[in-house]
Amino acid sequence: MTQWIVFGILAILVIYGVSLYNNLVSVKNAVAKAWANIDVLLKQRHDEIPKLVEVCKQYQQFEQSTLQNVIQARSQVQAAGARGDMQALGQAEGALRAGVGRIFAVAEAYPELKTNTQFMQLQSRISALENAIADRREFYNDAATINNVQIEMFPANLIASRCNFGVKALLDFSAEEKADIDVKQLFGSKA
pLDDT at residue 191 tops 90: no
Could you tell me the CATH number of the domain that includes residue 186?
1.20.1440.20
> 99 and 67 in contact (C-beta within 8 Å)?
no
Burial degree of 124 (CB within 10 A; 0-12, 13-18, 19+):
exposed
Is 100 within 8 Å of 70 (Cβ atoms)?
A: yes
Number of domains in the chain: 1
- The alpha helices in 84-116, defined as continuous H runs, are 86-106, 111-114
pLDDT-derived band of residue 186, with 50, 70 and 90 as boundaries?
very low
pLDDT tens-digit readout, 11-62: 999 999 999 999 999 999 999 999 999 989 988 988 888 888 888 877 756 6
Burial class (CB in 10 A: 0-12, 13-18, 19+), 4: exposed
Residue 131's domain comprises 2-190
